Structure 1
């Protein structure tokens, strides 16, 4: 628990492992017991057949809201399911209080289908600045972490995104067609060109992890919900990568970004992808 006058940096130095443990416990208590065991009544639609929510999403978010709030009194939690219930809670991302940005099950469709490509995402931010992130893939028992200025790690091993191999097509994960409007599809058309190999994305959090590991060259996404991007943006940054919107500015977790945007394993790749996206608009 944070002490009086303790800074966020001091809190993270003392309690980053406690946050990681809370994320693991939430997944162990509410997510994994339902993995490949979901009953029909535990799965619902939100905005349509491609926008699913499960009891695991709701209960893991409730667990994390309580645990993270107890670790850092005075902080607030912005979770995907809470915002769905009350969109006004999203405004806390722009406020002065430390904010936990939570996606309890990122890749719900994969989770529902029994695929292990899902994760739990937690990021800590304040006044729009990302300070720390945790990306946990419980079915794979992989935990990636990042603290601003201290690097990115996967299961304790430093992540270095590196640069693409010269002459090879850029591998880019893009917004999945099932979640993309016609206008957004047109904006992404710039990636269908020589030297680029685009494919639909899976779990956003795991795609960011792939960029940070140097296994994927870039992502190109057309939506800006903070819970999908906050943890991954910091992970890519701390691994040596960068991110750009169509105006050439970094992606802002507080919103109002020129979309689509990219996060890439190095600056040259980010600029190339951003340029192709601008041509597709």
Structure 2
């Protein structure tokens, strides 16, 4: 295990630019040529009409799976589309090998409708700990990179989440109703109160980036798929923010979290969101 960790430390010290190149290439070659150019046969439903997959998702994930595995020998890849095809793939998050967690198009619904609010998410984790993450918004050509203990950058500029300004409503991005159980819906209703301005979330990765930039005060999410959250929770952490579940514990990418959970610009905001979510249960 120590040998693995030393290898990863060395990788993160010298090879993050290689991951950035892989992410940019996947977007340039497989995603952007299909943006606003999708034919009907290139879009499919998975679990329902709100859960879509496109040829861009599949092709970009195939490319990243091949390249990332070669960049770090001994690592494995957990990608959203691979897990849909074979749910057992998700169990790699519980193992000891380094794991690449990939969401090739986070915000597929937006992508399908020609909305630029989507991104590509890659995170590197081991033993349930997220060590590095890459969030790339190809339409904006914005890349956020976070490395545990080394901070977060957006296009090379340090990110600081800061604290919300006093005297204004907290803006909170929340799960859409079709992602939630009845109990979670009741919890989210707790945010409909004076001093809070909840709204449905878009791409989870871009909402996390907004928190890390200090443009959004918090999230309140009710699902725990690692590919949606791994990159973003590290980005928020390294920008000075926090993430907490309804049990007041940090969110775990390996699952078993008490939901909903929040990622917020600071501890006070996170605890305020949890207080309101608890009151709604």
Q: CA RMSD in A?
A: 1.2
The answer for the alignment partner of 2:252 in structure 1 is 252
Aligned-pair CA distance for 1:9: 1.0
- Equivalent position SS for 2:160: coil
The answer for the alignment partner of 1:200 in structure 2 is 200
Name the CA distance, whole Å, in 2 between partners of 1:179 and 1:255.
Answer: 16
Name the CA distance, whole Å, in 1 between partners of 2:201 and 2:4.
Answer: 43
Aligned-pair CA distance for 1:185: 1.3
Name the CA distance, whole Å, in 1 between partners of 2:240 and 2:124.
Answer: 19
1:264 and 2:264 equivalent? Answer: yes
Which aligned pairs between 1:22-171 and structure 2 lie closer than 5 A? 22-171=22-171
Name the CA distance, whole Å, in 1 between partners of 2:131 and 2:47.
Answer: 31
Name the CA distance, whole Å, in 1 between partners of 2:94 and 2:227.
Answer: 14
Aligned-pair CA distance for 1:6: 4.9
Aligned-pair CA distance for 1:176: 1.6
The answer for the alignment partner of 1:220 in structure 2 is 220
Aligned-pair CA distance for 1:183: 3.1
**1:50–1:179 contact (8 Å) kept in structure 2:** no
The answer for the alignment partner of 1:278 in structure 2 is 278
Aligned-pair CA distance for 1:179: 3.0
Name the CA distance, whole Å, in 1 between partners of 2:66 and 2:242.
Answer: 32
- Equivalent position SS for 1:44: strand
Regions of 4+ moved over 4 Å: 3-6
Return 5+ residue gaps in structure 2 as ranges.
Answer: none
TM-score, normalising length: structure 2? 0.97
Aligned-pair CA distance for 1:80: 0.3
Return 5+ residue gaps in structure 1 as ranges.
Answer: none
TM-score, normalising length: structure 1? 0.97
Q: 1:4 to 1:252 in 2, by over 3 A?
A: closer
Name the CA distance, whole Å, in 2 between partners of 1:96 and 1:64.
Answer: 21
Deviations 1:189-212 (A, max 9, x none): 111111100000000000000000
- Equivalent position SS for 1:116: coil
Q: 1:57 to 1:5 in 2, by over 3 A?
A: closer
- Equivalent position SS for 1:209: helix
